C-alpha cells in the first residue's frame, strides 16, 4: 500500500494520531525508501505513539523493544530456554541417546525464546518494529542494531542464518539523553518531534478525549502553550495535556477559570518550583487572555 503524504496524515488521524507535515513527510519517505525512521524529541511529545499508530494504519503487528542501560543482544534477539533444556537432558539421561543428538535436540526451535528483534525479522507479514528510547542502550548495542538494520539478518550459531523475508517498518525513538552515533543516524531518516502547536494540540485533545467540548479543548491547548513558554524545570508533554483535559472533564468543567487551573496544576506540572511559578497571578493572567481572545 503506497499512500501519499496527505493520505498518510489522514490515515494516522483516523488511527488517533495527529501528525504535522514534517512527520507525515518522513513517514511517507520511510515507505518510499524502506528506511528506518529515527524520531528524536523530549519525553511526552508523541514519539512512541507514532509507531503504535503506524501499526494500526497498516493493520500490522507492533513489536516493541524497550531499550535500557545494559540491554544486550540476548534480551533483544533470542535466548535459549535453559530450564526446558535441562529438563530435556534429564529426561534423556540413561536412555543411551548420544550426546550429539541430545545437543542437536535441545538447540532447536522448540527451545528458542524469540525476543523482539528476532520476532520482527521472522514474521511472514512485516510488522512495525519499535525500538524505543534507543539512547538508553549503550554504544555497543547500538553498533549491533546498526548491523541488524543494514541487512535484516542475524546468525544464530546453532540454527544458522535467519534473513527477513519481509523487511519490517522500523521506528526508533530517542529522548536525546545521549548522542547517537553518526552511523546509526545515517542509516535512518530523521525527524525531530517538537511539542505540537496550539491548533494541533487542540486536535489531539479532541481525538483522544472525544467527549470533551471543542471550546474547552481550544482553551486547554492555548493555556498549555502559554505555560510551556514559561521558564520551567519540565515543560508539560502531550501526555500531561491529555491528563489535564481528562481531569477537567471529570470535574465537569465547561471552561477554564483561575481557581480551577490552580487546583489542577499538579496534573500538568510535576515540579514544585514550576507549580509555584504558574499558580496564582500567572495562571489568572493567562485565563484573562483566554477570555479576552474569546477562546
Residue closest to Mg ion, measured at CB: 48
- To ligand ADP, the closest distance from the beta carbon of 116 in angstroms equals 17
239 binds, among Mg ion, ligand ADP, none (CB under 5 to 8 A by kind): ligand ADP
What single-letter DSSP state applies at residue 94? Answer: T
Nearest-angstrom CA–CA distance, 167 and 164: 6
Nearest-angstrom CA–CA distance, 1 and 61: 16
Positions touching Mg ion (CB under 5 A) are 48
Region from 55-63, 113-121, 204-212, 246-254 binding ligand ADP, contact rule CB under 6 A = 204-212
List C-alpha distances in Å: 71 to 130, 243, 272. Answer: 15, 31, 33
Tally of CB atoms within 10 A around 221: 24
Strands (E), 139-254: 153-156, 160-163, 169-174, 189-192
Contact with ligand ADP (CB under 6 A): which of 8, 9, 17, 169?
17
Region from 46-54, 79-87, 182-190, 275-283 binding ligand ADP, contact rule CB under 6 A = 46-54
CB 24 within 8 A of CB 12: yes
Strands (E), 127-166: 128-132, 153-156, 160-163
Is residue 58 close enough to count as binding ligand ADP by CB under 6 A?
Answer: no
List C-alpha distances in Å: 19 to 32, 193, 199, 223, 273. Answer: 18, 10, 12, 21, 32
Is residue 11 close enough to count as binding ligand ADP by CB under 6 A?
Answer: no
Nearest-angstrom CA–CA distance, 237 and 51: 18
- To ligand ADP, the closest distance from the beta carbon of 20 in angstroms equals 8
- To ligand ADP, the closest distance from the beta carbon of 43 in angstroms equals 4
Is residue 164 close enough to count as binding ligand ADP by CB under 6 A?
Answer: no
CB closer to Mg ion out of 48 and 219: 48
Contact with ligand ADP (CB under 6 A): which of 75, 156, 239, 257?
239
Region from 26-34, 162-170, 202-210, 258-266 binding ligand ADP, contact rule CB under 6 A = 202-210
* Residues contributing to the site for ligand ADP (CB under 6 A): 16-18, 41, 43-49, 173, 204, 207-208, 237-239, 242
Amino acid at each position: 500500500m503506497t499512500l501519499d503524504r496527505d493520505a498518510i496524515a489522514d490515515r494516522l488521524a483516523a488511527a488517533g494520531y495527529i501528525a504535522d507535515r514534517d512527520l507525515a513527510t518522513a513517514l511517507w519517505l520511510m515507505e518510499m525508501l524502506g528506511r528506518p525512521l529515527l524520531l528524536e524529541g523530549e519525553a511526552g511529545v508523541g514519539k512512541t505513539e507514532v509507531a503504535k499508530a503506524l501499526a494500526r494504519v497498516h493493520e500490522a503487528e507492533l513489536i516493541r523493544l524497550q531499550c535500557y542501560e545494559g540491554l544486550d543482544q540476548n534480551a533483544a534477539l533470542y535466548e535459549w530456554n535453559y530450564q526446558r533444556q535441562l529438563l530435556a537432558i534429564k529426561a534423556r539421561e540413561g536412555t543411551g541417546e548420544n550426546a550429539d543428538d541430545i545437543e542437536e535436540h535441545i538447540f532447536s526451535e522448540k527451545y528458542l525464546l524469540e525476543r523482539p528483534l528476532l520476532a520482527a525479522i521472522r514474521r511472514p507479514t512485516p510488522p512495525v518494529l519499535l525500538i524505543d528510547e534507543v539512547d538508553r542502550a549503550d554504544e555497543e548495542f547500538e553498533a549491533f542494531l546498526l548491523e541488524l538494520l543494514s541487512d535484516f539478518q542475524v546468525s544464530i550459531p546453532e540454527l544458522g542464518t535467519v534473513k527477513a523475508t519481509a523487511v519490517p517498518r522500523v521506528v526508533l525513538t530517542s529522548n536525546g539523553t545521549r548522542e547517537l552515533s553518526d552511523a546509526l543516524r545515517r542509516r535512518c531518516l530523521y525527524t525531530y518531534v517538537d511539542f505540537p502547536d496550539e491548533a494541533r494540540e487542540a486536535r489531539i485533545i479532541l481525538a483522544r478525549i472525544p467527549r470533551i467540548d471543542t471550546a474547552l479543548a481550544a482553551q486547554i491547548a492555548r493555556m498549555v502553550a502559554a505555560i510551556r513558554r514559561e521558564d520551567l524545570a519540565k515543560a508539560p508533554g502531550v501526555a500531561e495535556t491529555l491528563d489535564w483535559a481528562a481531569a477537567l472533564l471529570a470535574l465537569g468543567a465547561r471552561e477554564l477559570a483561575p481557581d480551577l487551573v490552580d487546583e489542577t496544576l499538579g496534573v500538568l506540572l510535576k515540579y514544585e518550583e514550576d507549580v509555584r511559578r504558574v499558580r496564582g497571578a500567572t495562571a489568572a493572567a493567562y485565563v484573562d487572555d483566554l477570555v479576552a481572545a474569546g477562546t
